[in-house]
Amino acid sequence: MTAATPEVDAFTRPYWDAAAEGRLLIRHCTACDRVHHYPREFCPYCWSEDVTWRPASGRATLYTWSVVHRNDLPPFGDRVPYVAAVVDLAEGPRMMTEVVGCPEAELRIEMELCVAFRAGDGVSVPVFRPDPR
Ligand SMILES: [Zn+2]
pLDDT by 10s per residue, the chain, length 133: 444 567 789 999 999 999 999 999 999 999 999 999 999 999 999 999 999 999 999 999 999 999 998 877 777 777 788 999 999 999 999 999 999 999 999 999 999 999 999 987 788 999 999 997 7
Separation of 28 CA from ligand 1 center, angstroms? 8
pTM for the full predicted model: 0.88
**pLDDT for position 6:** 72
**pLDDT for position 2:** 47
How many structural domains is the chain composed of? 1
CB burial of 71-90 (b: ≥16 within 10 Å; e: otherwise) equals: beeeebeeeeebbbbebbbe
Around ion ligand 1, which residues have CB less than 5 A away?
29, 31-32, 43, 45-46, 48
Residues spanned by the domain of 64? 13-130
The answer to whether position 6 is within a domain reads no
The answer to whether position 117 is within a domain reads yes
